[in-house]
Chain A
């Protein structure tokens, strides 16, 4: 499928007037376990087939260089605040795929909605029903409602996939990322590319240090480099560690 043939959710093109009616307060929300993991798994396949080329595999869209809108995180959830899932479903069906809207089955659109809910960390439970009234009864809302900007971020825990920038150094018995930034949650395990990578190069050195795990072949050729590491965080009182997925050189020198 061409890039122009892919899904582009043009949610950014609309101006929503957010009003929350009394009726809305009585409805289910996306926090009420309204989709099933099986639906989301099917939706992921549909998404990666029809949408990911523009919206990116991790749904970050334009935020990471894609053509499509962001479908994950605060930007997305705030755009849909207090809309209902039938509105989301109908908009996707009406506009997507961009060059051939409405050509997927209702079931496919529904599973894509389920996958979007999953990636946005809404809890799974019972399957979404393919029924306009039922979908219309489920409100899209961020946890703290429209004023969620002040909500505390979810703390990083062991097992979270994170990104860290630092200097690669050898240490007794292994490798360490020194002068490192604090870990930042990510859902994209692949190395950052393009303009976003250029921005990473400009980041100031941090004060953290992470012992690196899961490195079977010594990365001698990257020793002393400024590195973007992605991996699974291991919180440890004696020093946090990182179970590495990728190590990418940002700069052959490191301050």
Chain B
């Protein structure tokens, strides 16, 4: 008998198959925001360890059980680390027809769980992690996805939240074969030169009340325009950071979240499932 963090799936066989999955991936574009249960029988979601340079990294892998080849998406966690909420987000993306891998960027310190839920310590540890290191870990996660038989190697993208938004952008800059990049609520102040290397079409989403992040938008957008990088930036007025997350009860804004996630899935559809992806190189 083998178990892992998710491997009690067999105990949850009574759970209904996701109706969204059954109805086809594209239906997700107009759906309400919902997080698949960790025992959603349409998905296989497990903890994994993947090679990351000379060490191993902890990650959370979620993928549709339905046969087929899928694009891959790296999910870069926010400043709270690889929490159960972020794992839910990984499943949410997977349920729309992607193989998702959410690396735990705190693996060298034993992983997010080793911090005993002390948020300040997690924040401190992540703030000491360089974006170069984060980009390297993201690259190894992409390589892990690319090596999976059911992942389309030239259709891998990256989505990041808060701290992970910066990591996602750094990853896309460092690994030009990545075909799509989505950044949520990230205060981006990149060296202008770095954006020269960005190949992936970018979608950046901001909560209007997240003043620290929104303050960076104009300079970020100017740099993107200067380098003629394909991008869409959307600021949702009147909502707080976390508005997109149904698990963030006081911050969640259903209408804005629905629109934001529709934009995300459309961005991923076009760039990872559409013809644009087939013209790219392999990760």
* Chain A interface residues (CB < 8 Å from chain B): 37, 41, 44-45, 48-49, 118-119, 121, 123-124, 158-161, 187, 189, 191, 213-217, 219, 221-222, 225, 230, 232-235, 241, 243-249
- Contact partner of B109 among A123, A159, A221, CB < 8 A? A159
**Shortest distance between the CB of B60 and any CB in chain A (Å):** 10
Pairwise interchain contact B3-A222, C-beta atoms closer than 8 A: yes
Interface centre among B5, B84, B108 (most CB of A within 10 A): B5
Given contacts A41-B143, A222-B1, A248-B2, contact A216 B84 (CB under 8 A): yes
C-alpha gap A160/B52 in the complex (Å): 12
Pairwise interchain contact B56-A161, C-beta atoms closer than 8 A: yes
Given contacts A118-B54, A245-B58, contact A216 B114 (CB under 8 A): no
- Contact partner of A221 among B1, B113, B143, CB < 8 A? B1
- Contact partner of A158 among B11, B47, B110, CB < 8 A? B110
Which residues does chain B contribute within 8 Å of A247, judged by CB atoms? 2-4
**Shortest distance between the CB of A216 and any CB in chain B (Å):** 5
Which residues does chain B contribute within 8 Å of A41, judged by CB atoms? 139-140, 143
- Contact partner of B58 among A49, A235, A243, CB < 8 A? A243
What would be 7 A-B contacts, judged by CB atoms less than 8 Å apart?
A: A37-B53, A187-B51, A213-B111, A217-B5, A232-B110, A247-B3, A248-B2
Given contacts A159-B107, A189-B48, A241-B110, contact A121 B3 (CB under 8 A): no
Interface size on B, as a range, is 20 to 34
| Closest Cβ neighbor of A121 among chain B residues | B54
Q: A121-B54, A216-B5, A247-B2 are in contact. List 18 more A-B contacts (CB 8 A).
A: A37-B53, A44-B147, A45-B153, A158-B110, A159-B108, A159-B109, A160-B55, A214-B47, A216-B84, A217-B5, A217-B11, A232-B58, A234-B114, A241-B114, A243-B58, A243-B110, A244-B5, A246-B3
B256, CB-defined interface residue at 8 Å: no
**Shortest distance between the CB of B37 and any CB in chain A (Å):** 12
| Closest Cβ neighbor of A240 among chain B residues | B110
- Contact partner of B113 among A45, A119, A243, CB < 8 A? A243
C-alpha gap A191/B53 in the complex (Å): 22
Pairwise interchain contact A158-B109, C-beta atoms closer than 8 A: yes
C-alpha gap A123/B54 in the complex (Å): 8
C-alpha gap A55/B185 in the complex (Å): 44
Pairwise interchain contact B143-A44, C-beta atoms closer than 8 A: yes
C-alpha gap A225/B3 in the complex (Å): 12
Interface centre among B54, B55, B139 (most CB of A within 10 A): B54
Which residues does chain B contribute within 8 Å of A161, judged by CB atoms? 49, 55-56
B170, CB-defined interface residue at 8 Å: no
Given contacts A214-B111, A243-B58, contact A45 B143 (CB under 8 A): yes
Pairwise interchain contact B3-A219, C-beta atoms closer than 8 A: yes
| Closest Cβ neighbor of B38 among chain A residues | A216
Which residues does chain B contribute within 8 Å of A49, judged by CB atoms? 147
- Contact partner of A249 among B1, B139, B143, CB < 8 A? B1
Q: Which of B1-44 contact A (CB under 8 A)?
A: 1-8, 11, 38
B146, CB-defined interface residue at 8 Å: yes
| Closest Cβ neighbor of A161 among chain B residues | B56
C-alpha gap A243/B110 in the complex (Å): 7
C-alpha gap A223/B139 in the complex (Å): 38
Interface centre among A187, A230, A232, A248 (most CB of B within 10 A): A232
**Shortest distance between the CB of A4 and any CB in chain B (Å):** 20
C-alpha gap A189/B110 in the complex (Å): 15
Which residues does chain A contribute within 8 Å of B53, judged by CB atoms? 37, 118, 124
Given contacts A45-B143, A243-B114, contact A232 B51 (CB under 8 A): no
Pairwise interchain contact A45-B109, C-beta atoms closer than 8 A: no
Which residues does chain B contribute within 8 Å of A159, judged by CB atoms? 55, 107-111
**Shortest distance between the CB of B7 and any CB in chain A (Å):** 8
0/1 interface trace, chain B 121-138, chain A, CB 8 Å (1 if under):
000000000000000100
